[in-house]
Amino acid sequence: MRISAKIYFVTGLFVVLVLISISYTSTILGINKVGENKQTYTLSATFNNIGSLKDGASVRIGGVQIGRVSKISLNNEYQPEVFIKIAKQYDKIPSSSIISIKTNGILGDKYLDIQLGFDDGSGDFLVNGSQFTTTNGAIILEDLIGKFLYSQ
Amino acid sequence: MLNAIINQITKLGEKVINFVYAFIKNIGESFLLLINFILRKPELSKTLNIGLLQLYHLGFKSLLIICLSALFIGVVIAIQGYQLLTIFNSSSALGSMVSVAIVRELAPVVSALLYAGRSGSALTAEIALMKSTEQLSSLDMMSINSIHRVIGPRFWASFFSLPLLNFIFIAVSIYGGVLVGITWKGIDSGSFYSNIAATVGLTDLLNSTLKSFIFSFFIAWIAVYRGYSSMPTASGISKATTLTVVQSSISILLIDLLLTIYLYGS
């Protein structure tokens, strides 16, 4: 049976479409950040407990998002260390700033909140690779309830 | 009076026995038909072109209905899920909700139902019309095996089209969820995607593909058998087409129930 070239072409197109959708799906299922190639710089912070903070959680100053969590790991002293990527345009964060883990509502996602420190005019800003000195870990609701119960 | 009742009961019993007999005969016939073209050396040089043509007719031409319904279903689930999740202030979990529902259940089942309605019935009608116009018999008369030449390539093309369409369904409907969640409702894209990555993994994608392959096996089998065993009349063709759609839809849903218990039940 003879088949016209058009049908070969269209069937090939079908298979290509399938490959595109497989790659799209696996990108979404496998990789956290898609389509973000803005200029960023990386900071890190060590917490005593990060709760349920996830890769890709947002970093905010006063509620406005400026970056994302890029990696979470344990450092040499087995303390959780969080690496965050912040957009290049926000490069004037004083090094005395405080970073803390907060929650959207009671059940919502965890995010990082930066409270700006005092800028004394010496130009002491956080640069690529530097670390936050003051951190506030996640508030674990169960611990709070436990403290409240057993302090009676 | 008593005789009439006994007569009725006798007729009922006869009907039941005939039904069971026909049922078992159907299973045996369809199984033999399946074995006839599965357990043999494939003659790719002769049948590949026919299969490709069928892949075009059965698979590619279903693309529009699959894409449209995938987009609509993704969007609708995302809207409903958003309403529910905002109550708990956790709307960023929308991504995982949509993708779990789509990848694990909706994509294989809905695409299989649509495929059975669009392509399974077309396959049955084509084979049944070939039979009623005695094209199959003329092939056999020219000592060309009609089962190997006509039924086999159609079965395989149908078997491989549905899993391909399933991938497209998943991608398009997740994109529908992204459209609602990120573009419309403004959920933070980072937590949206990371929630998806945290809940749905490669295993789910493979399970979805497995489901799709099993569904497409049964759809292709039922469609081919119903066409091949149809009565060679106009009403026979319509009956065969109806039976294809009804039986494949029911078997899809039943097999999905069993597979879901097996894959996710424990």
With cut-offs at 50, 70 and 90, classify the pLDDT of residue B45.
Answer: confident
The pLDDT score that the predictor gives to residue A152 is 63
Q: With a cut of 80, say whether residue A12 has pLDDT above it.
A: yes
> Residue B64 phi/psi, 5° resolution?
-65, -50
Taking the Cβ of residue A18 and every Cβ of chain B, the question of whether any pair is shorter than 8 Å is answered with yes
The pLDDT score that the predictor gives to residue A2 is 65
Chains A & B: contacts with CB separation below 8 Å:
112
The whole-angstrom distance between A121's CA and the closest CA on chain B is 34
Sheet holding A80-87, edge to edge: A40-46, A80-87, A64-74, A58-61, A110-115, A98-103, A134-136
pLDDT for B189-203, tens place per residue? 877 887 888 788 888
Residue whose tokens read 């199959």: B136
pLDDT for A59-74, tens place per residue? 888 888 888 888 899 9
The pLDDT score that the predictor gives to residue A33 is 47
Residues in chain B with CB shorter than 8 Å from the CB of A21 are 167-168, 170-172
The pLDDT score that the predictor gives to residue A1 is 57
pLDDT for A39-95, tens place per residue? 888 899 998 888 888 887 888 888 888 888 888 999 898 989 999 988 888 888 888
CB contact under 8 A, A57 and B202: no
Taking the Cβ of residue A16 and every Cβ of chain B, the question of whether any pair is shorter than 8 Å is answered with no
Please state whether beta strands A134-136 and A64-74 pair in parallel, antiparallel, or not at all (unpaired).
Answer: unpaired
Helix (H) or strand (E) holding A65: strand A64-74
pLDDT for B68-116, tens place per residue? 999 999 999 999 999 999 888 788 889 889 999 999 999 999 999 999 9
Residues in chain A with CB shorter than 8 Å from the CB of B190 are 32-33, 56-58, 68
What CA–CA distance (Å, rounded) separates A85 from A97? 16
Question: For residues B176 and B68, is the Cβ–Cβ distance under 8 A?
Answer: no
CB contact under 8 A, A7 and B50: no
Nearest to B160 by CA among B217, B241, B78, B121: B217
Residues in chain A with CB shorter than 8 Å from the CB of B90 are 104-105, 107-109
Average pLDDT, integer, range B125-133: 94
Average pLDDT, integer, range B142-161: 90
Question: Within a 10 A sphere around the Cβ of A103, how many other Cβ atoms?
Answer: 17
Secondary structure (3-state) at A98 = strand
When CB atoms are compared, the residue of A25, A34, A65 closest to B205 is A25
The pLDDT score that the predictor gives to residue A31 is 57
Taking phi over 0 as left and psi of -120 to 50 as alpha, with beta for the rest, A123 belongs to left
